[in-house]
Every structure is written in structure tokens, then in C-alpha cells.
């Protein structure tokens, strides 16, 4: 084997080579089965790997992780094992006990909710390494727990040395007091005593940090809080409350101390037709010591445990009137925890959103326990993933917010002088004061109650596009995909503006944040992006890689229209109007940039994802139009189906209907639209002959089983070819539980005949009315293959039988 060729010019051996796709851009790295590849490669007499492939092989490893955290842990486990052997003097028993203890510790965390590192031998808090923020907030906990278990390990070493069997003693021999007195020398006794004292002392210090300076909570404790919150306050879910109409925040970040101080002013407006005499607030777990003040509001009850406040309003807030609510709250990381619970504010890379920064008016459904199993355990009633479309009050809120329609947003953020702080809106002013750096942002137009604040030592790439500032705030060590991201921003703003109306903000910003969370999110004009998502992705054009970075930017930017301008009511199907449309549009952008072949890969993947997702359904599946916020439906099936609609209806009709719907519902407050409203626009844009298609795709779960059964051809005297294609088509409707029934056919399906060099000899959308369909065709050249639904526009679980090679016959039947 030519191992150097297999490196493909990179610093390690490529993970795969396929003739049709060339090298994989992934490289065998690290301690796994790939090690064998290197052993073989280094031993080659003729094409040996170069010595520096060692660096390629170890490149993923960080010395601190391997030797500081992992290696020391294994040393401790080894010492513990030796100690058990020495203590028990019975090889079999010691081996059994070691195995049992290791197994118990491995499964007990999740199974028994037993995660206290003080009791878990050699364990330290879980951590995530971030390029932006290093080991950041995880360092203190890891170091102290390492010292604690280190002292315990020294104790075990000393005890093992003292208990060690000297001479030719047999297994299972009992300890003798006289021997022990002799083997525990004064030095050894001193080591035992001092390591014991150190271990207990460190234990005390850790306990103080974990359980006194911080609150130690098990998963069960946290669930109990959620359950009590729901049980006590759910009754206020639909109680009329004023709504937030302006947000003005003063946020002081001290990244190096992991501290934040927030002073907020909210305007609450009574949009109901009755006076409101009670104000209720919920707030999250992050900021502490909330203090609220509002003129005429008297605090009746502040439930500190469940974070719920009730105020009496005297006089009552009259319809149409507003109330300024001022609050102050703060967070300051204290010592260290058993597990870092809030890596939101960090030395480099802070990311706080509206739920972290401000209270919610009234009861918040988002704080409820979700898992059906956990709910049953606590005797909570079943909880629909999303409300039904006809549920009372269902259209009163968008799915983004329970306490606001659109609001005016403004924020002043201060941070360390070497950092840039970013919030939605235009930067009105930036200044320095008392050694801190201040930024004042304001949004020109009202937005959804959905915003975030970030701060880090950023570098910025800027461009301008027809009055829109395109900006990327990035970690200076991550410049790899800036061109790609900028291109995606430019192209998406241009294309979407042409299709759906002007870009609604003055900025389109991408902002990097540490990989403690791994998503991208679209706030008004600002799109925080995890460093793990697009910034460090390696995309190889040569490999036909799907440019996920480009696609995610196109998706998030589509939300500036599809969510921020028109947003669905918090009912089934809400995300069809945002996630499905955004995912489809990202596909369109990929197609415009890279050609239709690349979208085939993406759609193939999406189709698999949908089919896999529905196979794992635990409750019930609803049609795309009424999906319950499930990623495999609203993203994957959404993209596949809308792409098919474009093919059947034509882009002008589909995009025209979307644009008209957006125009009609843009910026509207409650009652919010449902996907049925959009359905009306789509149906009106559809010719009668295709109404069935829109209905099947959106309002039903429709599965096709399409096959080419036979392809036979015969050369005609004039040099052309006569071909008979036999198709087998089944369409089935699945109900919510997956039960399928055969559906009658009156369906248009693409059929193609392909010749040498993939030349298309015939391609038509044919009408199929019976499961068996025979096509008799005359084509100008030798056919190689017939394909049904060649662009796999239809959801078909077996694509392998959609094509078949053509076979020559001597005599055509039925002539």
C-alpha cells in the first residue's frame, strides 16, 4: 500500500477513499482502531509514513486533557485496584469487587442520579474545552477535586505499602497485628496521617464550595422545583396580564469574575379590555436577588423557591394604560460547583438571552417538565407538545413569547476594555469610563421578545450591502470560514429581499460564542453561532462536501423574514411557517450557489432523517402542516416537501404565495396566524389538477412506494429505439399511529429514460391512475436505464428500486 498517497498531502492518513468521491477530508486521529493503520503504515518498507505523521495522529489531543485529567484518573483507579488486592489478599474476590465498583460508578450517574463527585472515586466535574475560552470555568472544580482524590490516592498507596504481604505468604492469609506494627514504619504512619488529614480537609473545602457557597441539586431536586411550579401556578397560565411593550436594559458584565449586574426597565401595557389588578412574574434560575419596583404595585407574595412574584396593582391598570416595571438582579460565580451549571458568562465568550436577562410576565409554560415518563412519575397530567389549533386562547400568543407581541428594544452593555459587547440593533455610541467599555444599542423598529447579548475578545469582518451592515464577530484564531459566511450573508440578504421584501434590519451580524452550546439562533439582525457549528468546520469543495456553514447562515438569515416578520401562533404547525420555510430556503440558496446536485445530497440526508425520526416516534406523528415542533418533521420533511412543491407548482407560484402571505400577516399582533392560513395561500396558487398534491404533502402523512418493474427495448429500422417501461406505484396514507392504508391514485410522477453518458432521452411528468402503468416510448438513442421520480421529490422508503437497467428483447409484445 502507498501510505503516503493515502495521506493526500495532509498530516495523517485519510479515513476513506472512494473512487467516485475521492478522499474523505477526515483523518484517522487518536487512540482508536485507526492506530493499526499507523502501525502498518510506519512499518512499510517501501512507502512508510513520514515520522511527523505522529503529530497528525495526536493532533486532537491536548496535553492538559490527556495527562492532566485523563491520565491522573487512570493512575488513581490503578492504585485503588492494587489496594483492594492487597487488602483482600484474594485475587479472585479483589478482581470481582474492582469490576463491580467500576461498573457501578459508570452506570450510577444516570441510573441513580448519583453524581456527587465527593463520593465518586477519582471523578472530577465534567468539562467542555472551548477554543475561545480554554478550560474556562471548569478549571477550579477540576483542580480541587483532583487534589482531593489525589490525597486519597496517596493514602491508599501508603496503606497498600503497609499491608503488602512480605515473603512467601499465601493468598487469603489473615493479617497479624505484630507484622502490621512492623511494616507500618514511622515514615509510613506519617504519610497515612498527613494524607488522611489532607483528604478530609480538602473534602471540607469542597463541601463548602459545592454545597454552601453554591446550591447542590440533584436532577430529582430540579425536577421537583419544576413540578411544584406547575402545580402551584399553572392555574394562572391564561389569566389576563399586561404585555411587555418596551425593554431597556443596562447590563454590566465582568467577564473575568464571571459576574453580571442587570438593571432593566420594562413597559407593561394592558392590552385587554378590563382593568388588571394583579401582576404576576416568573423568572429564571440564572440571575439572583431580583428586586422589582413599579408605581402603585405592592408585593403580595414573593416565592423565592419557585421564582414567582405576585403584585397587587392599586389603582388597577386601566385598559390601554402602561406601567413601568423596573428590576435589578445579578449573578456572580462563587467558588466552584460539583458541575458547572451556568457557563453563560465567561472570561471570553458570554452569551445571555432574554430568558436569562429579564423576568417573564405571568406563568411560563417553558419552565414545565417535558418528558412524558417524568411527568407520569410525578402524577402530572399528559402535556401536549403544542396546543391544538382550536384550543381556547390558542392564537393569543406567538410560539416565541407568552408575554409580548412586538416591543421596542434598547440596551447599554458594559464589559472589559479588551472585549466587544454586542446586542441587537444599531450601535448608537461606544465609550470608556472607569476602565470599562460601554456600548449602547437600539433597534429602530419593534421586534419579537427574543434577544441576546454577547461579549468576547472579538475581531470583526465588515461589509456593506445596500445599506445593510454585514458583520462577523469572530474569535481571531477562527478565520477559516469568514469568506464563506460573508458570501452566504450577502447572497441570502440579496435573494430573500428580492423574493419577500426588504431586509427588516440595518445589520446582519454573525457572532461567535463558546461551544458550551452547539446551535445557531436568529435574534433580530443578530445571529449567535456556536464556535463548534460553522467557525471551525472544514469544508472541502473537492470532496463535494455539503457546505453546512453556508447552509446554516442561509437558514438563520431566512428567519429574519420567516419568524421575525411573520410568526405562528403557539399551536401545532407553528414551526412550519418558520423552520420549514427557512430550511427549504437554505436548500434553495445551496442550489443557487452549488447547483442542483448538491441539494440532492442534502435532500437525501433530510429524507433519511425524516424516515428515521418517524420510526422512533414515541407518541404520534402529525402531518407536516400540524407538526409538533419536532426537528425531523419541521426541518427534514419540511425541506423535502417544500422543495417538491416548488418542482410541482413552479418557483414563481410557490414564492409568490409565500410572499403574499408574509405581506398580509407581517408584524401583526394577536391573533397570530396558523399554518392553515398559509395553506390557504398555497392552495390558491395551485392549479386544480395539483390540489391533491398540496393536500397529500401538507395535511396527510403520505408515503409512496414507486418502482420500475421492467424496461425492455428494441431497435427500430430507422435507428431509433422503442421502449416499454413497466411501473408499479403505490401511495399510502399513514395515520397518527403509523397504520397505513392504500390510497387511490390520480398522481403525477416524473419518469425518465437515460442513455449513455447520463444523456436524458425522455423525461415527463406522467399521470398515474392505477398501481401498474405501462409506458410505450420511442427514443432517439440506446436507453440504459429507466427511473421513476428521479429527483426523489416524493417520500419513498425504498429508493433502490426506483430505477432499473434496460434489457433488449427480440420481439416487442402487443405489436
Which lies closer to Zn ion via its Cβ, residue 520 or residue 690?
520
Q: Summarize as ranges the residues that interact with Zn ion (CB under 5 A).
A: 579, 582
Helix 482-500 to helix 579-594 angle, to the nearest 10 degrees? 110
Which lies closer to Zn ion via its Cβ, residue 407 or residue 582?
582
Which lies closer to Zn ion via its Cβ, residue 403 or residue 579?
579
**Phi, psi for 407 (deg, rounded to 5):** -135, 160
Residue with cell 458568562: 345
Which lies closer to Zn ion via its Cβ, residue 242 or residue 525?
525
CB of 521 to Zn ion, least distance (A): 8
Which lies closer to Zn ion via its Cβ, residue 472 or residue 558?
558
Which lies closer to Zn ion via its Cβ, residue 206 or residue 582?
582
Nearest Cα to Cα of residue 710 among 795, 808, 814, 782: 808
Q: 409-433 burial string, b = 16+ CB within 10 Å, else e?
A: bbbbbbbbeebbbbbbbeeeeeeee
Identify the three-state secondary structure at position 10. coil
Which lies closer to Zn ion via its Cβ, residue 327 or residue 450?
450
CB of 554 to Zn ion, least distance (A): 11
CB of 13 to Zn ion, least distance (A): 37
Which lies closer to Zn ion via its Cβ, residue 242 or residue 524?
524
DSSP letters, 337-349, are -SS---TTS-SS-
CB of 551 to Zn ion, least distance (A): 11
CB of 552 to Zn ion, least distance (A): 9
DSSP letters, 641-688, are HHHHHHHHH-HHHHHHHHHHHHHHHTT--SSPP-HHHHHHHHHHTS-G
Which lies closer to Zn ion via its Cβ, residue 348 or residue 560?
560
CB of 450 to Zn ion, least distance (A): 12
CA distance 500 to 33: 51
Burial (Cβ within 10 Å: 0-12, 13-18, ≥19) of residue 13: buried
CB 674 within 8 A of CB 395: yes
CB 712 within 8 A of CB 806: yes
E strand or H helix that includes residue 550: helix 548-558
Residue with cell 427500430: 716
CB of 244 to Zn ion, least distance (A): 23
CA distance 712 to 708: 11
Tell me whether strands 404-415 and 243-254 are parallel, antiparallel or unpaired: parallel
CA distance 809 to 788: 21
CA distance 735 to 76: 56
Which lies closer to Zn ion via its Cβ, residue 290 or residue 496?
496
CB of 400 to Zn ion, least distance (A): 12
Which lies closer to Zn ion via its Cβ, residue 367 or residue 582?
582
CB of 470 to Zn ion, least distance (A): 20
CB of 579 to Zn ion, least distance (A): 5
E strand or H helix that includes residue 8: none
**Phi, psi for 177 (deg, rounded to 5):** -55, -45
CB of 574 to Zn ion, least distance (A): 12
Amino acid at each position: 500500500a502507498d501510505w503516503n498517497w493515502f495521506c493526500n498531502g495532509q498530516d495523517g492518513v485519510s479515513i476513506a477513499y472512494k473512487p467516485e468521491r475521492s478522499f474523505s477530508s477526515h483523518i484517522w486521529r487518536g487512540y482508536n482502531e485507526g492506530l493499526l493503520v499507523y502501525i502498518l503504515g510506519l512499518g512499510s518498507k517501501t512507502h512508510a509514513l513520514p515520522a511527523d505523521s505522529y503529530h497528525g495522529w495526536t493532533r486532537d489531543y491536548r496535553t492538559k486533557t490527556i495527562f492532566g485529567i485523563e491520565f491522573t484518573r487512570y493512575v488513581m483507579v490503578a492504585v485503588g485496584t492494587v489496594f483492594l488486592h492487597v487488602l483482600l489478599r484474594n485475587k479472585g474476590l479483589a478482581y470481582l469487587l474492582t469490576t463491580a465498583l467500576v461498573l457501578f460508578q459508570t452506570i450510577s450517574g444516570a441510573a441513580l442520579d448519583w453524581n456527587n463527585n465527593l463520593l465518586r472515586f477519582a471523578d472530577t466535574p465534567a468539562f467542555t474545552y472551548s477554543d475561545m475560552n480554554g478550560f474556562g470555568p471548569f478549571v477550579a472544580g477540576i483542580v480541587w477535586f483532583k487534589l482531593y482524590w489525589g490525597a486519597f490516592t496517596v493514602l491508599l498507596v501508603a496503606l497498600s505499602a503497609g499491608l503488602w504481604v512480605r515473603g512467601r505468604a499465601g493468598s487469603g492469609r489473615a493479617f497479624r497485628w505484630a507484622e502490621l506494627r512492623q511494616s507500618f514504619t514511622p515514615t509510613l504512619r506519617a504519610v497515612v496521617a498527613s494524607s488522611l488529614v489532607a483528604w478530609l480537609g480538602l473534602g471540607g473545602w469542597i463541601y463548602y464550595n459545592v454545597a454552601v457557597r453554591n446550591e447542590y441539586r440533584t436532577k430529582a431536586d430540579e425536577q421537583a422545583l419544576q413540578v411544584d411550579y406547575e402545580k402551584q401556578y399553572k392555574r394562572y397560565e391564561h389569566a389576563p396580564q399586561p404585555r411587555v411593550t418596551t425593554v431597556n436594559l443596562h447590563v454590566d458584565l465582568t467577564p473575568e469574575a464571571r459576574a453580571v449586574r442587570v438593571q432593566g426597565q420594562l413597559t407593561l401595557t394592558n392590552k385587554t379590555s378590563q382593568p388588571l389588578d394583579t401582576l404576576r412574574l416568573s423568572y429564571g434560575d440564572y440571575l439572583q436577588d431580583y428586586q422589582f419596583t413599579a408605581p402603585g404595585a405592592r408585593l403580595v407574595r414573593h416565592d423565592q423557591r419557585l421564582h414567582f412574584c405576585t403584585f397587587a396593582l392599586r389603582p388597577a391598570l386601566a385598559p390601554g394604560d402602561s406601567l413601568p416595571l423596573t428590576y435589578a438582579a445579578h449573578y456572580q460565580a462563587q467558588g466552584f460547583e460539583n458541575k458547572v451549571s451556568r457557563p453563560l458568562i465567561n472570561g471570553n465568550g458570554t452569551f445571555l438571552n432574554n430568558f436569562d436577562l429579564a423576568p417573564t410576565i405571568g406563568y411560563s409554560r417553558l419552565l414545565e417538565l417535558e418528558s412524558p415518563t417524568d411527568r407520569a412519575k410525578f402524577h402530572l397530567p399528559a402535556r401536549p407538545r403544542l396546543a391544538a389549533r382550536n384550543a381556547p386562547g390558542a392564537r393569543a400568543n406567538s410560539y416565541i413569547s407568552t408575554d409580548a407581541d412586538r416591543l421596542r428594544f434598547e440596551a447599554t452593555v458594559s464589559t472589559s476594555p479588551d472585549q466587544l459587547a454586542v446586542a441587537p440593533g444599531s450601535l448608537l455610541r461606544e465609550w470608556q469610563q472607569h476602565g470599562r467599555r460601554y456600548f449602547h444599542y437600539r433597534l429602530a423598529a419593534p421586534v419579537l421578545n427574543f434577544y441576546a447579548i454577547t461579549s468576547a475578545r472579538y475581531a470583526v469582518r465588515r461589509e456593506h450591502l445596500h445599506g445593510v451592515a454585514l458583520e462577523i464577530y469572530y474569535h481571531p484564531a477562527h478565520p477559516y470560514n469568514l469568506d464563506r459566511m460573508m458570501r452566504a450573508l450577502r447572497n441570502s440578504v440579496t435573494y430573500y429581499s428580492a423574493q419577500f421584501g426588504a431586509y427588516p434590519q440595518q445589520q446582519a451580524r454573525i457572532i461567535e460564542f463558546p461551544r458550551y452550546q452547539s446551535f445557531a439562533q436568529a435574534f433580530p439582525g443578530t445571529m449567535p453561532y456556536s464556535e463548534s457549528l460553522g467557525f471551525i468546520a472544514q469544508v472541502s469543495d473537492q470532496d463535494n462536501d455539503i457546505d453546512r456553514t453556508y447552509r446554516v447562515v442561509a437558514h438563520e438569515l431566512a428567519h429574519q423574514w420567516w419568524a421575525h416578520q411573520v410568526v405562528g401562533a403557539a399551536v401545532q404547525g407553528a414551526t412550519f411557517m418558520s423552520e420549514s420555510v427557512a430550511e427549504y430556503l437554505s436548500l434553495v440558496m445551496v442550489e443557487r450557489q452549488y447547483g442542483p446536485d448538491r441539494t440532492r445530497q442534502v435532500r437525501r440526508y433530510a429524507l433519511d432523517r425524516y424516515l428515521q425520526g418517524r420510526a422512533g416516534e414515541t407518541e404520534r406523528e402529525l402531518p407536516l402542516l400540524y407538526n409538533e415542533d419536532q426537528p425531523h418533521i419541521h426541518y427534514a420533511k419540511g425541506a423535502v416537501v417544500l422543495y417538491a412543491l416548488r418542482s410541482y407548482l413552479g418557483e414563481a407560484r410557490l414564492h409568490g404565495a409565500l410572499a403574499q402571505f408574509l405581506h398580509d400577516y407581517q408584524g401583526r399582533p394577536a391573533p397570530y396566524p396558523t399554518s392553515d392560513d398559509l395553506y390557504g395561500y398555497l392552495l390558491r396558487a395551485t392549479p386544480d389538477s395539483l390540489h391533491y398534491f398540496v393536500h397529500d404533502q401538507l395535511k396527510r402523512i403520505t408515503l409512496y412506494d414507486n418502482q420500475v418493474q421492467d424496461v425492455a427495448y428494441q431497435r427500430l429500422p430507422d435507428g431509433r429505439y422503442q421502449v416499454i417501461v413497466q411501473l408499479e406505484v403505490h401511495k399510502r396514507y399513514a395515520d397518527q399511529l403509523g397504520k397505513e392504508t392504500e390510497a387511490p391514485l390520480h398522481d403525477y410522477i416524473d419518469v425518465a429514460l437515460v442513455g449513455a453518458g447520463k444523456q436524458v432521452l425522455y423525461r415527463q411528468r406522467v399521470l398515474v391512475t392505477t398501481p401498474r402503468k405501462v409506458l410505450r416510448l420511442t427514443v432517439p438513442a440506446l436507453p440504459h436505464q429507466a427511473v421513476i421520480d428521479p429527483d426523489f421529490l416524493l417520500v419513498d422508503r425504498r429508493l433502490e428500486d426506483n430505477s432499473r437497467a434496460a434489457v433488449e428483447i427480440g420481439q416487442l409484445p402487443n405489436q
